Amino acid sequence: MFSLFRKENRPSAADAMERGIVLKNLPVKGLSLPPLDQLEAISANWSAQDRADFDHECRETYATQIEELRRTGLWEKMESEERNFIRTGPYGLWPQAQLDAMWLAESIACLLWALGRANKLPDYDQETGEKIIRGSPDDTDTVKDLVAGAKLRPAKEIDEQRDLAELWHWRCRTHQLIESGHKFAELPPETTIDGIIKMAANQAGQVHDFVPIDDDFPAFAKPFRNATDQEFLLLRSIAQERHKALNWLCGYAPGNRWSETPTDT
């Protein structure tokens, strides 16, 4: 698929392994706490001392995490927002930041796949889930050994996986425009958005590992267009996160800066 982005130098296998380990630290923290509203409800009847003790205990845990990141040299590889997330106390952790951290499982899965540590990615209507956060990279390996031994799949394989992620992200954005009543006035005469979706789905099905359903992308064993609102939100989140990770792997982020990776379609 034609890309809108200008390629720079691709990150190396060592870069990809370091980024994967850095990203893993964010949802690990997210998993350690309930969402803020639940935490507030749980601690509503605590004394001021109880809350202070809990805050102190959490901050000690975060300090240990930061110390380990510094020891391995990864603290300096984190971006400022990532470091701030790790530093933030339990009552200052915004729900959206915590949710964003949990969705990083999809990005981590892409990095591990590219590094040959996962055989395949789940379908685009299936979440990667927490298991990959808790179990990868292998905690028995040292960071130094992981980085030194890192190898990436051939660039062609990663490019093809990136193209698939972009296609799914494009389908999500197209669905959103259709649902919002957007008028595709720029389309050539006799061309409809349904026709474009049909062509994209069938062409993609010939190249990538999926079978179109009723001339549409397959989602939850039905055409994408029939996805419920909740199903659509899941599809969009999965596609967006994977698209970002694979664009980064393909060298589309300025200076390989993760937060600046484009995901336009």
pLDDT per residue as tens digits for the range 36-89? 889 999 999 999 999 999 999 999 999 999 999 999 999 999 999 999 999 999
Rounded CA separation 112/94 (Å): 28
Here the tokens at position 12 are 């190396």
Q: What is the CA radius of gyration of the chain?
A: 21
What one-character DSSP code corresponds to residue 12?
P
Would you state the pLDDT for residue 1? 45
Would you state the pLDDT for residue 129? 79
Q: Which residues pair with 222 in a beta bridge?
A: 219
> Would you say residue 16 has pLDDT above 50?
yes
Task: For residue 140, count other CB atoms closer than 10 A to its CB.
Answer: 6
Contact, 172 vs 236, CB < 8 A? yes
Within 8 A by CB and 6+ apart from 193, the residues are 174, 178, 184, 187
Here the tokens at position 26 are 């964010």
Rounded CA separation 223/205 (Å): 13
